[in-house]
Structure 1
Amino acid sequence: MSLSLRLGLWAVAFVVALLGCSYLRSFAIRRSLVDVPNERSLHAVPVPRIGGVALCVAVWVCAAAAFVATREREILVWLLLAIPVFVVGLVDDLRPVSAGVRFGLQLAVATAFVVVVGLPGSFCFWPGVTVAVPALLSYPLAVVWIVGVLNIYNFMDGMDGIAAVQAMGAGVALSIGLSANHTGLSFVAASFVAAAAGFFVHNAPKARIFLGDAGSTVLGFTFATFPLVGSGDGSIPVLAGPVALAPFLLDGTFTLLRRARRGEKVWQAHRTHLYQRAVATGLTHGDVLMRYACWTAVSLGASIAIQRGSGAVVLAAVGAVLLGLFLVWRWVLAREARRS
């Protein structure tokens, strides 16, 4: 694909997401397809929740063009498996779908992706360091990774702008990592950046439309599967994918473990993620988003450093991301202490 064609398609993705969200917002209001605030919500008024439809359609236009141009099998596999994830998410946005149905679909899709695309016998953890992993271990871990990231992305999509910012950061990191050996997937990853930017115009504080499960689950599925493709040939070191998603993965995992330790039902909705606790102290969505955007920028830089650097650089990059978690956590605790 020529540079002019790529730029043109990215512009199309941005415009489709931008205008699509505007239309969907009006449509959702007319049909009462809105997220009504409850005790766990961070918004105070009903907000349309199907913005993910515009984002996904925008990216799928680019993905179809990328597959035609490159014939990369992984694009077609990802696209065909992302569609049922999208459909179940959209149905859940319109009327509740049982947790069992959602989990069963996610498990089936994750397993299908891993089996069809395949995994190598060894993985590059960072440049120059490759570790052999038996299939009996790598395949189950890959399925757990996909299902876990998909759900964490969905759980973390609870504040204005936060999912779009994370999508832009992860999209840039994966696009860079995949650019050498998977030009089509690299283009699709960058298309998510363009579409997320168009969506962000409507989702920035105060949000006029939400992503919804249709969008958040597809984003989670994408950012879990693309690194697996890249790690197969060493394009993306294993650590680079999780580091690119660090703000979501660390906040989500930290909160999950904290709730499990307290004996709470971790699968139930709540308001105890770090970003939710920060908003509860009186900060605006914009205040919290700015700090998470900075953390996302650090994670993006760290992911790129892992893709390009030596062992010392990798350790420094991982340390910077973990420091981000510590600083956010301490900041939230300090805010809560002053408020009490």
Structure 2
Amino acid sequence: MPDLPVWLLLHFLLAAAATQAARAYALRRRLLDQPGERRSHTVATPRGGGIAVVLSVLLAALWLAMLAAGKDRMLFGSFAIGLALVAGIGWWDDHRPLSPWLRLAVQAIAASILGWGLYQAGTGPWPALTALVMALVLVNVWNFMDGIDGIASSQAAIAASAYFWVLNGPWAALAASLLAACLGFLPFNFPKARIFLGDVGSGALGYTLAALLAVSLQTSSLAWPLLLLPLAVFLVDAGFTLISRMLAGERWWTPHVTHVYQQAAFRFGHVRVTGAYFLLGAVTLMLMLLLSRASLQSALMILPGCGLVLLALWLGARKGLKI
């Protein structure tokens, strides 16, 4: 594990500097998200700032791979390749919109590479398959939920903090690099966005969190349901919004503004909504920490209980917002 304060400062500064460079590049290339009926912002805003987070995490992964040996080196290499694929197709899409099915195909390849890396590391087929599924899920959840200022990067920072706490050695260092990179990017995206993550950033956040979750499931002493708690806020909003759109016969894969956080932002503003989601995420993080010694049986009740509370809040918000 590198010296933690130096490691955090390095990735914070790298992400901040790279975000500034990405903003200048986006303005020069006219890579702007325009306001519209399927957008939550009201002014044209540069996109693609998430390349800064990708750069920071990818450099961390490559450095840690060089320091690692054997199975860890292979797993870090698999993660780095998958991250480059997810970020690469997102970067391309930020420049020229692509078919959602092409993006999904590339994401599936990246998820398979992560699963293969875990399998080669000796985890067995089921953990590898779990990593593959979680990578596909979280890449798209973070893409769905990246719609207002600061929400995606702040939730990723909460989850990165959780996995830093439960992991050890080089994987804890990777979680720390993600946390620092999110904090380096956030001042450019919140409280008033000067640049958006773009698909390059939202997908990379989800993919990195999936890898950290997958390794945590294999190495942490915590009961596995607790490791899902820091992701629960996004999983509930994204998951149940997706289900509701499917049941309504809508084209669920197309952009929309029917998430609770999007509709709430129209009424209350981005800062308040991102702050509310941050508080909910912080509560799930604290629950994970406070209940870290809980047995598997207890954890199997805690996770659904937390999910039901979040679902009740989601349903109440939808009713109040008349979605």
TM superposition score normalised by structure 2: 0.90
The one-letter code matched in structure 2 to 1:245 is: L
Q: Secondary structure at the match of 1:110?
A: helix
Question: What is residue 23 of structure 1 aligned with on the other side?
Answer: 21
Question: What is residue 142 of structure 2 aligned with on the other side?
Answer: 153
The one-letter code matched in structure 2 to 1:292 is: Y
Q: Secondary structure at the match of 1:14?
A: helix
- Kindly tell me: are residues 30 and 154 of structure 1, through their superposed partners in 2, closer, same or farther at Cα, counting changes over 3 Å? same
Question: What is residue 169 of structure 1 aligned with on the other side?
Answer: 158
CA shift digits 1:18-61 (9 cap, x unpaired): 12212221221122111111211011111111111111112223
- State the 1:309 CA deviation: 1.9
Question: What is residue 94 of structure 2 aligned with on the other side?
Answer: 93
Measured in 1, the distance between the counterparts of 2:191 and 2:320 equals 24
CA shift digits 1:112-165 (9 cap, x unpaired): 2212311745xxxxxxxxxxxxx4x66555433321221111111111000111
Question: What is residue 40 of structure 2 aligned with on the other side?
Answer: 42
Is the 1:177–1:230 Cα contact (8 Å) retained in structure 2? yes
Map residues 307-318 of structure 1 onto 2, 5 A cutoff.
Answer: 307-310=292-295, 311-312=297-298, 315-316=301-302, 318=304
- Kindly tell me: are residues 115 and 67 of structure 1, through their superposed partners in 2, closer, same or farther at Cα, counting changes over 3 Å? closer
The one-letter code matched in structure 1 to 2:200 is: A
- Kindly tell me: are residues 320 and 99 of structure 1, through their superposed partners in 2, closer, same or farther at Cα, counting changes over 3 Å? closer
1:190 aligns with 2:176: yes
Is the 2:48–2:197 Cα contact (8 Å) retained in structure 1? yes
- Kindly tell me: are residues 69 and 142 of structure 1, through their superposed partners in 2, closer, same or farther at Cα, counting changes over 3 Å? closer
The one-letter code matched in structure 1 to 2:113 is: A
Map residues 179-218 of structure 1 onto 2, 5 A cutoff.
Answer: 179=168, 183-218=169-204
The one-letter code matched in structure 2 to 1:19 is: A
Q: Secondary structure at the match of 1:228?
A: helix
Measured in 2, the distance between the counterparts of 1:213 and 1:235 equals 34
Q: Secondary structure at the match of 1:190?
A: helix
Question: What is residue 133 of structure 2 aligned with on the other side?
Answer: 144
Question: What is residue 272 of structure 2 aligned with on the other side?
Answer: 287
- State the 1:327 CA deviation: 2.2
Measured in 1, the distance between the counterparts of 2:293 and 2:281 equals 18
Map residues 1-340 of structure 1 onto 2, 5 A cutoff.
Answer: 1-2=1-2, 5-71=3-69, 72-73=72-73, 74-118=75-119, 120=123, 135=125, 140-179=129-168, 183-235=169-221, 237-280=223-266, 282-305=267-290, 307-310=292-295, 311-312=297-298, 315-316=301-302, 318-336=304-322
Q: Secondary structure at the match of 2:182?
A: helix
CA shift digits 1:214-260 (9 cap, x unpaired): 11111111111222222234545432343211111110001011111
Measured in 2, the distance between the counterparts of 1:235 and 1:158 equals 35
CA-atom RMSD in angstroms: 2.2
Percent identity of paired positions between Structure 1 and Structure 2 = 33
Q: Secondary structure at the match of 2:165?
A: helix
The one-letter code matched in structure 2 to 1:26 is: A
Measured in 1, the distance between the counterparts of 2:93 and 2:204 equals 13
Q: Secondary structure at the match of 2:212?
A: helix
- State the 1:76 CA deviation: 2.1
Measured in 2, the distance between the counterparts of 1:6 and 1:233 equals 21
Aligned length: 317
The one-letter code matched in structure 2 to 1:100 is: W
Q: Secondary structure at the match of 2:214?
A: helix
- Kindly tell me: are residues 28 and 48 of structure 1, through their superposed partners in 2, closer, same or farther at Cα, counting changes over 3 Å? same
Measured in 1, the distance between the counterparts of 2:137 and 2:298 equals 29
Is the 1:237–1:306 Cα contact (8 Å) retained in structure 2? no
